[in-house]
Structure 1
Amino acid sequence: MNLTFDADAVVLDIEGTTSASAYVTEVLYPYSRSRFGALLADRGHEPDVRRAMDQARRLLGDPGADAARVERALDDWLEEDRKATPLKTLQGIVWAEGFARGDLVPHFFDDVAPALRDWHEAGVRLYVYSSGSVATQRDWFSHGPGGGLLSLVDGLFDTENAGPKQSPGSYRAITEAIGTRPGRTLFLSDRPAELDAARASGWLTVAVRRPGEPYHRHAADGHPEVESFAGLRVGRAEQSEASSTS
């Protein structure tokens, strides 16, 4: 089934939506786990690493936690798939270096790049909202197919600059930041709780149900569904009207 939306902005989830969850859990997570110890022990003085370690200590309720204790917490949060901000920050640092060295190459489903280019050409602004850090998102889209997709993206949001993805307040914060009315903003995600939060803030929503992904067979709870971006048309009515009269 094809869906058509008149919208000014599309906000994209990554894992399970633009990219395979298995790549994240089977490639990226082990890569970061194997490098946390050296990062914390050798580079704890660096501002971004130090800030993330202090955040981890606050979450642990242990202001004196040493690098080894923080590493154990990171491993536990990885095992739980917990969207903890310090975990995501430190993963972002490790992954950025992996992308730069060529150890890592981001995964995108084949239908993603053509759709993003079509929507961008139609005048739709594109944003990303992921539990992965903004730094990780920037690297992910910079190293995407065809020389990268970052040039198509107008802004990046994570749990630090927007808030938790299951909170309607986070979507209202993004609305304020991008200056697009909620009813003109379309959110694409595979996770029902995120879609519910976006809908509660007045956004348009689509549940992305890709075969083989963890949420493929989950009920969409009234959200329209697609299995691929190829089944989704997004444009701006005024842009279409202008093109038809030129």
Structure 2
Amino acid sequence: MLFSRWKVCLLMLIISSQVHSARNILGTVGESAKLKNSELSQGPFSEVSWFYNETQKILTWDKGGKILGFETSLKTRIRLDDDNITLHIRQLQKEDSSTYKLKASLLGTGKEISEHIRLDVYERLTKPKVTSDPKINDNGTCLVNVTCSVEQVKENVIYSWTFEEQGTSVSSGEPILSISWKSGEPDQYTCTARNPVSNDSTTIYASELCAGHTFRVSRELIVVILPSIFSLLITLNWTQ
């Protein structure tokens, strides 16, 4: 029984030794990123290897100065910096998001060090667009549903609406905002779109959104009412 428990503890120790934590860095599509070894002071090194997705070797360097890049989508966009260990990736693509692994051997002792670095690449957001569908109810209140959106892939995008209400800034964390507005009330609303590498905002005014719609409603009412008025006037003339 004691031996079985010892085996279980040994197995747990082996498993825990294989678990690694990766440092996280952010990258932007079209820009560059550097994956640096946090233990650079341990050098110099006799050999350095970088892996994509932890297992696919993408580049090696040895103490003779020989650099070998392997046939991957990264080959033409990666290089080592002058320290011969920092991986430089240019023209980042979303597909470059991965956990990268560094393996290096210390010169002299041959001791190996390894490190995992998580790179997440995002698009820089464009200015958000706002669409709306204003309606006027019977008491003259303008009811508007406004939707904020960006052109990029919607993953990892957070929207927020900020507006003034009785002198206090109020924020809503949804892309769709329902506005109930009357003339004379605060009418400025700002939508902000954010992702881990960028943010941008668009400001709208309820008075502008509702003005065109109010005019359209009034024009439609005129089209309906005017014929009735003319008919009424003609009828009155005939009866006199």
For normalisation by structure 1, the TM-score amounts to 0.21
For normalisation by structure 2, the TM-score amounts to 0.22
More helix by share: 1
User: Could you say which structure has the greater relative contact order, defined with CA pairs below 8 angstroms and 6 or more residues apart?
Assistant: 1
